[in-house]
Amino acid sequence: MSQIEIRSSVELPSKRELFNLVTQDGLKLIAELAMPISKAPVATLITLHPLPTSGGFMDSHIYRKAANRLPHLADLAVLRFNSRGTSSPQGTSEGAFDGGKLEALDVAAAVEYVLAQGLPNPWLVGWSFGTELALKYGPDQNVLGAILLSPPLHRTSDEELVRWNGIDKKLVALIPEHDDYLKPNQAAERFSIVPGIELINVPDAKHLWVGESATTRVLNEITRIVNPGAYPLPEFIEL
């Protein structure tokens, strides 16, 4: 056995399956599920990627690293998929980008798949554009809550935000100090109508969470929320 430092290029052992999600309107979406090898998962992350028209897809680096690390380190299942019309090295999902409207069916297909597979404790994890999908459609889905990474709140109305009040779902948002679209003071103001939200301001971070320290912080916060027994994640591991 040798000691490995957990860095950006590390891919830890997991079971990986590439498959298609099928939406209610009949589209096939490219998807991958990463699972722990020797244990049942404790919780399931349903990841919603950044804006596809600006280069976002299922392999956007935080989600790729989550799939590479969290099944082994935190006993989590990680579902990634390309929303309609989105391409990645694994392929292109059918359909066309719809600005967050018909993507409601993509979110529903992912949640339905997780529930049909009997995967436990599902959470939506949105990043940038993906946070808009989580905020818009999460209240109607059978999930425990949503984790928001760099929410821009461009497409989310106040009416959609207040739907998170009075429902039994947790809402957590990680706000980078130097975000391009919504900085911590702005986030505090916009989210003030959702008093139950947990706002986490992350010093020195930017919208794209570039750098290993930013990645480590994001993956640690996700783990703390969905499987606190595995928090904090180790910096080194024996393999």
What ranges do the domains of the chain cover?
Answer: 3-136+206-238
CATH class of 3-136+206-238: alpha beta
88: tokens are 């990645």
Separation between Cα atoms, residue 64 and residue 68, nearest integer Å:
6
pLDDT of residue 8: 82
Q: What is the pLDDT along the chain (239 residues), one digit of tens a residue?
A: 789 899 888 999 999 999 999 999 999 999 999 999 999 999 999 999 999 999 999 999 999 999 999 999 999 999 999 999 999 999 999 999 999 999 999 999 999 999 999 999 999 999 999 999 999 999 999 999 999 999 999 999 999 999 999 999 999 999 999 999 999 999 999 999 999 999 999 999 999 999 999 999 999 999 999 999 999 999 999 88
Taking each helix axis as running N to C, give the angle between helix 129-137 and helix 103-116, from 0 to 180 degrees, rounded to the nearest 10. 70
